[in-house]
Structure 1
Amino acid sequence: MPTIEKLYSMKEVAEHNLADDCWIVVNGKVYDVTSYLDDHPGGADVLIAATGKDATEEFEDAGHSKDARNQMKDYCIGELDPTPLIPEMKVFRKDDPFSSSFTSKTAEFWAIPAATLIGVSIVVAIIYARKK
């Protein structure tokens, strides 16, 4: 089996989605099956339908033989990059300087509505008390 040195993103794989440029992903490995389309026992249409996508489920459902799995090694061009598509979000911690300034800014924004609510409540209480 050739050494795999290249990592491909799913976006890169998706760009190779034509009969004359056909890549698929199976079990985290990227395969260029363009030259295999005419030789595929299930027909070229099966591979073309899976091109540019992760075809692991379809591959496993078809019940490929051990020979078929060994033959795939000849078409492997790399691995799917395991990096998530969406970068992880930063978690704010109490000891984080940005986090504490963020918290104090949030408190400042709540101070005005809270003071307004308290002031209105006092005015309503005074008006209610005068009517009695």
Structure 2
Amino acid sequence: MPTLTKLYSMEEAATHNKQDDCWVVIDGKVYDVTSYMDDHPGGDDVLLAVTGKDATDEFEDAGHSKDARELMEKYFIGEIEEASVQEIPELKIYKKEEPKDSLQKLVDLAKQYWVVPVSVITVSIAVSVLFSCKK
């Protein structure tokens, strides 16, 4: 008969964030590392820094050995409920525009706002016609 795995919410795992009561979540699995705090090669502050969130990236970035991964199973107490895992917001990428010289900016503005150059030309023509008629 298969054993049932205890399910925890991220909120519940986050409450276990002290030296004498420390849980860590890695790959959706919950580990009670309280008894391992003093033995952790990186120190207890490393474990305390990742409580209350998914520590998978930090764990992978540290380059843990196969032995470390096997040792983890000793501290396994359950899994995170899928519904309690928060969605990661989509990353927005903004394109940085290359700086333009002032002449290019002026040309771009003229193309964008064609009314101003056309108005200047129209007024110039009207003034020259009126000035020609008076002579």
Report the TM-score when normalising by structure 2. 0.58
Cα distance in 1 between the residues matched to 2:22 and 2:57: 18
Indicate conservation of the 8 Å contact 2:24/2:51, yes or no: yes
Alignment of 1:53-92 (within 5 A): 53-84=53-84
Indicate conservation of the 8 Å contact 1:29/1:80, yes or no: yes
CA shift, 1:4, in A, is 5.5
Identity %: 68
Alignment of 1:97-108 (within 5 A): none
- For structure 2, list consecutive stretches of 5 or more residues without a partner in the other structure: 87-135
Report the TM-score when normalising by structure 1. 0.60
Structure number with greater Rg is 2
Indicate conservation of the 8 Å contact 1:23/1:34, yes or no: yes
Cα distance in 1 between the residues matched to 2:55 and 2:71: 16
Cα distance in 2 between the residues matched to 1:61 and 1:16: 23
Indicate conservation of the 8 Å contact 2:24/2:55, yes or no: yes
Indicate conservation of the 8 Å contact 2:30/2:79, yes or no: yes
Indicate conservation of the 8 Å contact 2:9/2:84, yes or no: no
Letter in 1 for 2:10: M
- For structure 1, list consecutive stretches of 5 or more residues without a partner in the other structure: 87-132
Distance 1:5 1:19, change over 3 A: same
Matched, 1:43 2:43: yes
Size of the aligned set, in residue pairs, is: 84
Distance 1:22 1:84, change over 3 A: closer
Structure 1 counterpart of 2:30: 30
Cα distance in 2 between the residues matched to 1:55 and 1:84: 15
* Aligned alpha-carbon RMSD (Å): 1.6
CA shift, 1:73, in A, is 0.1
Cα distance in 1 between the residues matched to 2:78 and 2:71: 15
**SS at 2:22's partner residue?**
strand
1:62-92 per-position Cα deviation (integer Å, ceiling 9, x unaligned): 0000000000000000001112568xxxxxx
Structure 2 counterpart of 1:123: none
Indicate conservation of the 8 Å contact 2:10/2:84, yes or no: no
